[in-house]
Amino acid sequence: MNKRIIGFIFCLILFNVQMFANEIGLRVLGNDQDGYYVNIYWGKQLISDQSRSGELEAYFDNEDYAVREMLQGWKATQVKKENGKIILSGQVYLKRLETDLSVNVIYEIVNKNVVSKQIELQQNNLSLLFYSLGTSIVPECSPSSYWSFDDNMNMGGTVHETYPAAGYILNDTLAIGLLTDAGNRNLWTRNIRRRPSKQGEIGFRAIREICDANLIRISNKDERLRQNNFVKYTFGEVSDFNHPVDTCLYPIPNVTTWKTYHNGYVKKHGNIYKIEKRGKEVSGVRIPYYWHYKIFCVNGKYGIQV
């Protein structure tokens, strides 16, 4: 990794016409000891607070993934203003990888509603270094609600929709969100399934390798109860289902919570669940799984009595 640039946009959308007199603003905070960061304001209102999360987090792997180095809550050691931009910079020594990493975070006000944030990473010691990078916006207090491109009342977790845009609403009037390249630069794709082929496959099949499946994540219900509110981008992940690393056992919901339709009927015999129908029409059952992360594989066995 010689030099890599990741860019994205903070986007404001206004619902209250009386607020048009305000403009978006940037303020550098921090000190030499704890580091520097930038908070974003709409007029006098703080809309994104980086004091706890820092400007970015990342992890780095060597060529064979044997060594991993974590970088959490990065803040700058130097700040300068140049041509209308705020440039946060600093050097990080990755001890386990034995390399020096140069970090630049560049803020620029595009117009009164939009701020761009660009992250630059550079190192010259290793010929190949894999990395994944995350950055987020954090409200000062609990927002009225969260939104995504396809869901104006998003309940949280991974967002994998038509366009990579999501955010939160403050005081029911001001919408703040993130927007980034929709696929061609960061390899993101909303496709997580492929159509069945003509070789006898039935139903949609999962794609075996997915880039940036967790590109956008919104704090879920449990995190919100702990006042951990955020909307986060994560770049540089590849989900390889050909060689799974982690598996998870998820308990089957109580059979009394299963939802049947068209006269379907569910009976449990030990570890076997039997679904029967009481009429001639097609019947079925819906199992009420709830999962904060919407992309997962399910393995199981089933039998059909003919």
Q: What is the pLDDT of residue 16?
A: 44
Q: How far is CA 272 from CA 182, 266, 296, in A?
A: 44, 10, 23
Residue 112 scores a pLDDT above 50: yes
pTM of the complete model beyond 0.85? no
Q: What is the predicted pLDDT for the residue at 26?
A: 94
User: Tens of pLDDT along 10-59?
Assistant: 554 444 444 455 788 999 999 999 999 999 999 899 999 999 999 999 99
d(CA 75, CA 135): 12
> pLDDT-derived band of residue 185, with 50, 70 and 90 as boundaries?
low
Cite the beta strand spans of 62-129 per DSSP E: 68-74, 78-82, 85-94, 99-111, 114-122
pLDDT of residue 283: 73
Phi/psi at 256 (nearest 5 deg)? -70, -15
C-alpha count within 13 angstroms, C-beta hemisphere, residue 150: 8
- In angstroms, the CA 221 to CA 289 distance is 15
CA separation for the pair 152, 165 (Å, rounded): 11
Encode pLDDT of 127-164 as tens digits: 888 899 999 999 999 999 999 988 889 999 988 777 78
pLDDT in tens, 232-276: 999 888 777 776 666 666 677 777 788 777 777 787 777 777 777
CA distances from 109 to 12, 25, 83, 220 (A): 12, 8, 11, 30
